[in-house]
Amino acid sequence: MIETTAAPFPTLRLRPWLGIVAAASAAIATWMALVWAPTDAVQGDVYRVIYVHVPAAWLAYLAFFIVFLASVGWLWTRRPWFDALAVSSAEVGVLFTGVFIVAGSIWAKPTWGVWWTWDPRLVTTTVMFAMYLGYLLLRSLSTDFTRRATRAAVLGVIAVVDIPIVHLSVLWMNSLHQLPTVARIGAGPALDASMGMTLGISVVAFTLVYFALLIERMDIERRRQAALLG
């Protein structure tokens, strides 16, 4: 049975504070990335793109994994809250994937000499980007709420398969992309301590921004559901 009313989002009191904390942490991370972190001995200052590229990748993975969990939740319970979570996380995830791709291209130009190449990491990331754009487009093909949510949920469950493919593509295939420098199996991070700290703060800041955006987008979606379901 489908809920016919949308309950207020449970974190309304948290929203203003989360936005403030997210903005403050983003400002701190920006200062650390541009000023505090040292210049790389090999790549120079261009490596600083890592403080956007890696956190954006992490948030893309997280956002789409939440789409998967929310899709399972909808298929299991038929509660509109799960559908609202899925579409909201998908939209924010597409945003971060776009940032992931653009930041990678900016980094690739001075290091590889090209903005784009058919590298396995780039190709699989672009496929992931296209899959979740397709997820969002699929939702516009039906005005029936249940049918739309169910079709989207099925795709949300299937599409999650691409996340490990993207992440492990540099290990599975012949790739120009550098190997993992933080989460390395059998070895410690290949980063200077101050660089690693800056990257960690950047990941935290991006994560807070993700949740701030997610909460705002879910509130909008729940209001839409209330108007649609009556």
Whole-number pLDDT of residue 122: 84
Asked if residue 163 has pLDDT above 50, the reply is yes
Asked if residue 209 has pLDDT above 50, the reply is yes
Which residues neighbour 22 within 8 Å (Cβ) at sequence distance 6 or greater? 205, 208, 209, 211, 212
Coil vs helix vs strand at 40 = strand
- Alpha carbons 164 and 158: distance in angstroms, whole number: 13
Using one digit for the tens of pLDDT, what is the confidence trace for 182-199? 554 444 555 678 888 999
Coil vs helix vs strand at 206 = helix
- Would the CA dihedral through 9, 66, 49, 117 be positive or negative? negative
Query: What is the domain partition of the chain in residue ranges?
Result: 28-33+44-229
- Alpha carbons 219 and 177: distance in angstroms, whole number: 39
Among 13-22, 32-41, 177-186, top mean pLDDT goes to 32-41
Asked if residue 171 has pLDDT above 60, the reply is no
Residue 21: how many CB atoms within 10 A of its CB?
16
Asked if residue 177 has pLDDT above 70, the reply is no
Question: Rg (Cα) of the chain, in Å, rounded?
Answer: 19
Across the range 92-103, mean pLDDT stands at 94
Asked if residue 81 has pLDDT above 70, the reply is yes
